[in-house]
Structure 1
Amino acid sequence: MNKSEVLEEIGKLGIIPVIRTKSAEEARTVIKAIIKGGINILEITMTIPNAVELIEKISQELKDTAIIGAGTVLDVETAQKCVEAGAKFIVSPIFDVKIVSFCNRSSIPVMPGALTPTEIFNAWQKGADLVKVFPVSVIGGVLYLKAIKSVFPQIMLIPTGGVNLENAVDFLQAGAVAVGIGSELTTGKPSVITKQAENLCRQLK
Structure 2
Amino acid sequence: MFRADIVNRIEATGVMAIVRTETIERGIEIAEGCLEGGVDVLEISYTLPNAGEVIKALNESIGDKVLIGAGTVLDGETARLAILAGAKFIIAPNFSKEVAKVTNRYQIPYAPGCSTVTEMVEALEAGASFIKAFPISNFYGPSLVSVIKTPIPQMPILASGGITLDNLAQWISEGVDSVGIGGLLTKGSKLQISENAKKIREIIDNTRKNKVVK
Aligned AA for 2:163? V
Contact in 1 for aligned 2:59/2:86 (Cα 8 Å): yes
**Corresponding residue for residue 73 of structure 2:** 73
* Partner SS, residue 153 of structure 1: coil
**Residue 122 of structure 1, CA deviation:** 1.6
Q: What residue is the counterpart of 2:210 in the other structure? A: none
Distance 2:45 2:191 in 1: 22
Rounded to whole Å, the distance in 2 between the matches of 1:34 and 1:21 is 14
Q: What SS is found at the alignment partner of 1:9?
A: helix
CA contact 2:6–2:109 (8 Å) conserved in 1: yes
**4+ residue segments displaced more than 4 Å:** none
**CA–CA separation in structure 1 for the residues paired with 2:138 and 2:202:** 28
Residue in structure 1 matched with residue 43 of structure 2 by the alignment: 43
List alignment gaps of at least 5 residues for structure 2: 206-214
CA distance in 2, matches of 1:203, 1:144: 19
User: 1:185 matched to which residue of 2?
Assistant: 185
Residue matched to 1:166: 166
TM-score (norm 2): 0.90
Supply the RMSD in Å over aligned alpha carbons. Answer: 1.4
Cα deviation, 1:140-159, whole Å, max 9, x if unaligned, reads 11112221111211110001
Q: Distance in 2 between matches of 1:22 and 1:52?
A: 12
**Structure 1: tracts of 5 or more residues without a match:** none
C-alpha separation between the residues in 2 aligned to 1:186 and 1:12? Answer: 21
* CA distance in 1: counterparts of 2:84 and 2:21, whole angstroms: 22
Spell out, residue by residue over 1:100-140, the C-alpha distance to the aligned partner (whole angstroms, 9 max, x if none).
11111111111111012122122112211111101234431
1:154 pairs with 2:154: yes
- 1:106 aligned onto 2:106: yes
Work out whether residues 24 and 57 of structure 2, in 8 Å CA contact, stay in contact via their aligned partners in 1.
no
**Mapping of residues 59-138 of structure 1, within 5 Å:** 59-138=59-138
- State the percentage of identical aligned residues: 35
Judging changes above 3 Å, is the alpha-carbon distance between structure 1 residues 185 and 164 closer, same or farther for their aligned structure 2 residues? farther
Once the two structures are overlaid, the 10-residue window that deviates more, 20-29 or 123-132, is: 20-29
* Cα displacement (A) at 1:55: 0.6
Native 8 Å contact 1:17 1:42 kept in 2: yes
Contact 1:23–1:49 under 8 Å retained in 2: no
Q: Work out the CA distance in 2 between the residues paired with 1:170 and 1:48.
A: 32
With structure 1 as the length reference, what TM-score do the two structures score? Answer: 0.94
Number of residue pairs matched by the alignment: 205
Q: Is the 8 A contact 2:31 2:42 kept in 1?
A: yes
